[in-house]
Amino acid sequence: MMNIDLIVWDLDGTKYRLPTNMASITNMVLVPMIQRRLAESGHPPLEPTKIIELGKKSYEQSGSVWLYFAEKYGFDWHDLHAEFNNNMPIEIVPSAPCPSYKNLIQETKKMGIEHVIFTHGNKAWASKALEKLDLTEEFSAERIFDLTTTDGSFKHHGIQPFQALFKNLTKHVPERALMVEDTPINLTGAKQIGMQTAIIDYSSNFSSKPEHVDYIFTTPQALLKRIVDERLGHSGLPPV
Ligand SMILES: [Mg+2]
């Protein structure tokens, strides 16, 4: 990781650990949102269990619980994207996890490494979550990229979303950038475009590294610490 000048962070599940009941929280947001839209648009209603089932299938196929409903009923994805994120309870994000998180980001910035967020959530949600993590200063609005950057294309849809991202990061090239995710499939396009790739594996689920993943860390702090140590020559002291 010595030769990077950019870290692209996924947000949810990467910058912070998701709660274990995340699926039920997601369903609590999804069900009323879809029920209301079906009623408003004159479609026949769906039982909550059916919405949950379709949402799960949608997530498995597209990485989004709401995309199926956008496509099936012609709902505007921008609206669903915004509404889903606006209704997500901020309680899922822990308060500033540890002070070293912020310090390590600032330290790597001093070493010439830029940090941005690339998320499937929207920018408003990202700002809210980053505020709770006490990382607002480190990720100003122009450092946050979401599905509007990629025109609705998800990270696991190949290299197109990453090409769209780098159009916005003209000072950087993929070869000198590290993409950090909690979802391995979201790194395939990143790898294809030439980025280095890392997984944050909070629960130590990965016994071996997938082929397209260069590094696995159990926390973002561990990743940042490794970069700082590498730059200082492993000993933890600046080279003389
Ligand atoms: Mg994630």
**Quick one: pLDDT at residue 232?**
87
Ligand 1 centroid distance, CA of 18 (Å) = 9
Instruction: Give how many domains the chain has, as a whole number.
Output: 2
Residue 18 corresponds to which tokens in the numbers above?
A: 């998701």
Residues 165 and 211 occupy one common structural domain: yes
Residue 98 burial (C-beta neighbours within 10 Å; 0-12, 13-18, 19+): exposed
Ligand 1 centroid distance, CA of 233 (Å) = 31
Number of H helices, E strands in the chain: 9, 6
Average pLDDT, the chain: 94
Q: 6 has which bridge partners?
A: 114, 177
Q: 196 has which bridge partners?
A: 178
- Tens digit of pLDDT for each residue in 151-176? 999 999 999 999 999 999 999 999 99
- Tens digit of pLDDT for each residue in 128-155? 999 999 999 999 999 999 999 999 999 9
Residues 101 and 209 occupy one common structural domain: yes
CATH for 184: 3.40.50.1000
Ligand 1 centroid distance, CA of 38 (Å) = 28
Ligand 1 centroid distance, CA of 172 (Å) = 23
Residue 148 corresponds to which tokens in the numbers above?
A: 């509007």
Ligand 1 centroid distance, CA of 12 (Å) = 4
Residues 84 and 117 occupy one common structural domain: no
Residues 69 and 103 occupy one common structural domain: no
**Quick one: pLDDT at residue 87?**
96
Ligand 1 centroid distance, CA of 92 (Å) = 13
Place of tokens 């003209």: 170
Ligand 1 centroid distance, CA of 86 (Å) = 17
Ligand 1 centroid distance, CA of 180 (Å) = 9
* Residues 38, 68: Cα–Cα separation, whole Å: 13
- 152 domain residue, yes or no: yes
Domain of 185?
6-17+94-231
Furthest CA-CA distance within the chain? 72
Ligand 1 centroid distance, CA of 181 (Å) = 6
Ligand 1 centroid distance, CA of 235 (Å) = 32
* Residues 123, 128: Cα–Cα separation, whole Å: 9
Residues 78 and 99 occupy one common structural domain: no
**Quick one: pLDDT at residue 78?**
93
Please report, as a single letter, which amino acid is at residue 1: M
- 173 domain residue, yes or no: yes
Final residue before a domain boundary, out of 39, 57, 91: 91
Number of residues in the chain? 240
Q: Which residues contact 190 (CB under 8 A, 6 or more apart)?
A: 8, 155, 162, 174, 179, 181, 197
**Quick one: pLDDT at residue 98?**
82
Residues 130 and 187 occupy one common structural domain: yes
- Chunked mean pLDDT (size 10), the chain, 240 residues: 92 95 96 97 97 95 92 95 96 89 95 97 95 94 96 94 98 98 95 98 89 96 95 63
For the chain, the helix, strand and coil percentages under 3-state DSSP, each to the nearest 5:
45, 10, 40
Residues 79 and 153 occupy one common structural domain: no
CB 144 within 8 A of CB 131: no
